[in-house]
């Protein structure tokens, strides 16, 4: 169980995960009320479900990696338009 003393001491659940994970987690976290107001299902509610959510997202991206890379390749006609 999480204790306030752990948070104050800097040894809470995000201590080993780092600031980037902390920021990402809280940036997209939805409370029950927030999700209800937006008519959304909460994507995650704790670190375990956050990990599952992030894995699901990366799995989808990996499945479409070739398509994404192809979309990112510069288009010769676009380069000409941007040069003008």
Query: pTM above the 0.85 mark?
Result: no
In a domain, 4, yes or no: no
Token pair 């003008």 in the structure block, residue: 84
In a domain, 41, yes or no: yes
pLDDT at 76 (0 to 100)? 53
In a domain, 37, yes or no: yes
Look at 17 and 83; give whichever has higher pLDDT.
Answer: 17
In a domain, 70, yes or no: yes
Q: Looking at residues 4-16, what average pLDDT do you find?
A: 88
Range of the domain at 39: 18-83
> What is residue 12's DSSP assignment?
S
Structural domain count of the chain:
1
Per 3-state DSSP, what percentage of the chain is helix, strand, and coil (rounded to 5)? 65, 0, 35
Q: Each residue of 25-83: pLDDT tens digit? A: 999 999 999 999 999 999 999 999 999 999 998 998 899 899 989 888 876 555 556 66
């Amino acid at each position: 169980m999480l204790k306030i003393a752990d948070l104050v001491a800097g040894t809470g659940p995000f201590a080993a995960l780092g600031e980037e994970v902390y920021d990402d987690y809280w940036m997209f976290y939805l409370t029950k009320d927030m999700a209800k107001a937006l008519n959304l299902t909460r994507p995650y509610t704790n670190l375990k479900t956050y990990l599952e959510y992030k894995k699901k997202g990366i799995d989808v991206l990996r499945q479409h990696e070739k398509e994404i890379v192809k979309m990112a390749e510069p288009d010769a006609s676009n380069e000409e338009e941007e040069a003008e």
